Chains A and B, each alone.
Chain A
Amino acid sequence: MTEAFAFRPSRRAVLQSGVAGMALLATGPQAFAQETPKRGGILSFALAAEPPTYDLHGSQTFAVMQRVAPHYSTLLRYKGGAYPEVVGDLAESWTSAPDGLTHTFKLRTGVLFHDGTPMTSADVKASYERIRNPPKGVISSRQASLGKVASIEAPDPQTIVFKMSAVSSSFIDEVAASPWNAIYSAARLEKDPAWPIRNIMGTGPFEFVEHVAGSHWVGKRFDKYFRQGYPLLDGFRAITMSPAATVNALVGKQVQAEFRGFSPAERDRLVKGMGESAKVQEGGWLLHQDISFNPKRKPFDDPRVRRALSLAIDRWTASRSLGRISVLRDIGGVMMPGGQWAATEAELEKLPGFGKDMAANRAEAKRLLKEAGVENLKIQLLNRAIEPYITAGIFLIDQWRQIGVTVENHDAETAAWYASIAGDNFDVVMDSYTDYTDDPTTGLPKFLSADKWPIAAPKFNDPELDDLYAKQGAANDKAERRKLVRAFEARTMEQAYTVPILWWRRIVVMQDAVKGWTMSPTHMLYQDLAEVWIA
């Protein structure tokens, strides 16, 4: 997938600013590469949330990724300035057998952990075994991604071999290049498998200095980092602050960057406040806003009711309008709009809820509700009390009112929202999903049956959907795989257990002085900061 990073000004304030950073962006990421990197300096950046753990293997939140990634390495990594190209990180080279059942990685020599011990294939094996078969007391958030791995072998200190029980077309993206699959020290894991949950020690570009909960996280340059000449920074300081405070902190130059993203209104305020020092980067985001129906509750066990509620949503108007006030903007099915696996506009329009004739859609929705015997449907919407969930909720309620559905909205705090989902205590829940790669195998589990995706909001069993997912994961032919993804998408929209409303738009604003960071459609990548420098 190739991501367009061209800046798209949408408001007068942006147009007025005429900042140098925007001019740079118009030429794409190559523009940054042309500048001569400078060594030194401490990068300060803002983070809106505290890390619940230090363990990348057991986490799914950017609050962990953006703090911890600078301390670790992975087998492969996404190449800076060239997303989604993958290059070796700890691996010097790699080969895959023609049958797709063996992947062999040759590791670099001379790689040291921060404690001075050498990194070998034993460390890689121990780390992947920990993800694959987590010991007691260890959470593995990506255990399923290694489900097709039959064995992991370390024939010599510089070679690691993954033997597969079946072909996994997403192995490189999902397993080898995953930013979550950090390599830990085998010696430390042997003493205590839970050690990385509260301790940091890797082979990454920065050593851990301190974490003061609620305040900051500090890293300093690791002088023996294996990539010659990197990192460029002397260190970094991640400061915990609310999104509102971040806007002011960026304007006041207390921080130089925030890597997750801002809303269009925040972007405009930043551009106005920062003037020429603002650098704005925008692009698609591997993050979709969804609604999930609880099929354990009537009448949501009836696909006609779920489909009717999806049909009533005018996604095309939402894209034009909500995109002005929130990060909700792009129209897409189950794969990221504009990505290599995305449906074309013509394909999308054929799906329930994506047709452009809203009068016909709403008439069909009313007919389906009548047929299901729930013409005057009253439902409870469980929403999360943060943006853009609230914005999406207000929009949905209006859309459903237009087909005669009465909605009682409940904006819950995050903990209560999670608890309600876990306890199946909802009619309809506003939800979202993100991952780091546009590969269907990592992107589609959100829409699978509960036994395949245990943390799913709607607990249903749809063997047809699961079968299509398994088939696309095993397909080596890209055209065939694309066809299977389309079939999966059609089934998802027809059954409508979980349906996307809109995809998010990523807007990153930082000080123009911050160079070498790569914009991508995910806030989980390029956070090791090795190539980042301050002009």
Chain B
Amino acid sequence: MTTLSQTSFKPTRTRRRWRDNPVIDFAVSQPLGVAGFLVVLVMVVSAIFADVIAPYDPLAIDFEAMLAPPSLAHPFGTDTFGRDILTRIMYGARTALTIGFISSFIGCTIGAIVGLASAYFGGWRDMIVQRGIDLLLSFPIIVLALVVVAMVGRNKVGGVDLNLICAITVPIIPRAARVVRSAGLSIREMPYVDAARAAGYSSTRIVLRHMAPNVLGPYLILVTAYIAQAILLEASLSFLGLGVNEPTPAWGLMLSGNSANFYQTAPWMILFPGAAISLAVFGFNLVGDALRDWLDPRLKT
């Protein structure tokens, strides 16, 4: 029995030490998350090093190569201006990530603060904020973004359209606020929050210093999940002609314009940008889901 007991104990201890490393633990417990992470990593590397690794200039027109099918010279083919689609997808990752990350980060941060404050104050203030959120949530995400784009127009600063980011951020705020408020309602009842209140700390301090760190888990999951939503929204707005302008490489934009006219004769014009959007959204969603499962203590028991 002793021997058996020792035999069963040793591997357990080894496994635990090995899995004490959170990265390894995540990799082992969330293989789909790792797959998503790899997709995201490829996207990030493409975006950062596009200048070095992309085979062509993303803006250069080459009429000799107009509508060329996939080949060794152009693995993803070319568009109606002879521009290399692989190159434009690599540079398009830059647009998607920049807008996706900034919009998601700002939207989730504002949403988290609003949600926590609403939960903390409760009462009539919570009711007013929640009805406002209900109102915003009643609009489909794309409709709300379209309304914002139509209202604020365009405002490019340093090559980034701030109003487009604003249009994508606004629909994220109420969704993030609703999720964080749920977490905030239970945190509000915690003894340390009562203690902070009893100690005379200001409401701002209690919300930001004592409650906010405790919703970091759901917040990170939200940011990751909404990057995917923001990428999809940016692609949708660009497809509708309300997002990024030509000739900036952007995945949604690559699906619009002449692509609609040539999708039958040159299907690669829509196939590869469409796949890029799907993969990016899929990758971020896998990472988000994996993070949620990994951080949720109930799923670890």
Residues of B within 8 A of A317 (CB): 63
Check A479 for interface membership: any CB of B closer than 8 A: no
- Beta-carbon contact of A398 and B247 below 8 Å: yes
Choice from B61, B80, B156 contacting A408 with Cβ under 8 Å: B156
Residue of B nearest to A268 (CB): B265
Check A391 for interface membership: any CB of B closer than 8 A: yes
Residue of B nearest to A272 (CB): B264
- Beta-carbon contact of A397 and B63 below 8 Å: no
Residues of B within 8 A of A253 (CB): none
Q: How far is the CA of A325 from the CA of B260 in the complex (A)?
A: 12
For chain B, what secondary structure do more than half of its interface residues adopt (helix, strand, loop), or is it mixed? loop
- Beta-carbon contact of B61 and A395 below 8 Å: yes
Check A531 for interface membership: any CB of B closer than 8 A: no
Residues of A within 8 A of B61 (CB): 394-395, 398
Choice from A265, A325, A416 contacting B153 with Cβ under 8 Å: A416
Check B245 for interface membership: any CB of A closer than 8 A: yes
Q: How far is the CA of A269 from the CA of B81 in the complex (A)?
A: 20
Shortest C-beta distance, B48 to chain A (Å), equals: 22
Q: How far is the CA of A160 from the CA of B258 in the complex (A)?
A: 52
| Given known A265-B262, A416-B153, contact A409–B245 (CB-CB < 8 A) | yes
Of A13, A411, A412, chain B has the most CB atoms within 10 Å of the CB of A411
- Beta-carbon contact of A394 and B262 below 8 Å: no
Shortest C-beta distance, B156 to chain A (Å), equals: 7
- Beta-carbon contact of A266 and B261 below 8 Å: yes
Check B59 for interface membership: any CB of A closer than 8 A: yes
Check B154 for interface membership: any CB of A closer than 8 A: yes
| Given known A409-B247, A411-B241, contact A320–B63 (CB-CB < 8 A) | yes
Check B194 for interface membership: any CB of A closer than 8 A: no
Residue of B nearest to A385 (CB): B241
Residues of B within 8 A of A321 (CB): 63, 66
Shortest C-beta distance, B167 to chain A (Å), equals: 14
Chain B interface size band reads: 20 to 34
- Beta-carbon contact of B63 and A244 below 8 Å: no
Shortest C-beta distance, B169 to chain A (Å), equals: 21
Residue of B nearest to A411 (CB): B245
- Beta-carbon contact of A391 and B258 below 8 Å: yes
- Beta-carbon contact of B261 and A397 below 8 Å: no
Q: How far is the CA of A185 from the CA of B95 in the complex (A)?
A: 59
Q: How far is the CA of A518 from the CA of B40 in the complex (A)?
A: 58
Check B246 for interface membership: any CB of A closer than 8 A: yes
Q: How far is the CA of A412 from the CA of B150 in the complex (A)?
A: 11
Residues of B within 8 A of A387 (CB): 257-258
- Beta-carbon contact of A397 and B66 below 8 Å: no
Residues of B within 8 A of A324 (CB): 66
Check B38 for interface membership: any CB of A closer than 8 A: no
Residues of A within 8 A of B264 (CB): 269
Check A393 for interface membership: any CB of B closer than 8 A: yes
Residues of B within 8 A of A266 (CB): 261
Residues of B within 8 A of A385 (CB): 241
What sequence of 0s and 1s flags, for each residue 394-435 of chain A, a beta carbon within 8 Å of any chain B beta carbon? 110110010000001111100010000000000000000000
Give chain B interface residues in 247-270, CB to chain A under 8 Å: 247-248, 257-258, 260-262, 264-265
- Beta-carbon contact of A397 and B59 below 8 Å: yes
- Beta-carbon contact of A397 and B247 below 8 Å: yes
Shortest C-beta distance, B158 to chain A (Å), equals: 11
| Given known A265-B262, A387-B257, A398-B60, contact A410–B245 (CB-CB < 8 A) | yes
- Beta-carbon contact of B154 and A390 below 8 Å: no
Residues of B within 8 A of A412 (CB): 154
Check A121 for interface membership: any CB of B closer than 8 A: no
What sequence of 0s and 1s flags, for each residue 48-80 of chain B, a beta carbon within 8 Å of any chain A beta carbon? 000000000001110100100000000000001
Check A437 for interface membership: any CB of B closer than 8 A: no
Residue of B nearest to A393 (CB): B246
Give chain B interface residues in 152-177, CB to chain A under 8 Å: 153-154, 156, 159
Chain A positions near chain B (C-beta within 8 angstroms): 13, 244, 263, 265-266, 268-269, 317, 320-321, 324-326, 385, 387, 390-391, 393-395, 397-398, 401, 408-412, 416
Name 20 interchain pairs, CB-CB below 8 A, sorted by A. Answer: A13-B265, A266-B261, A269-B264, A320-B63, A324-B66, A325-B261, A326-B258, A390-B257, A391-B80, A393-B246, A395-B61, A397-B59, A398-B61, A398-B247, A401-B60, A409-B246, A410-B154, A410-B156, A411-B246, A412-B154
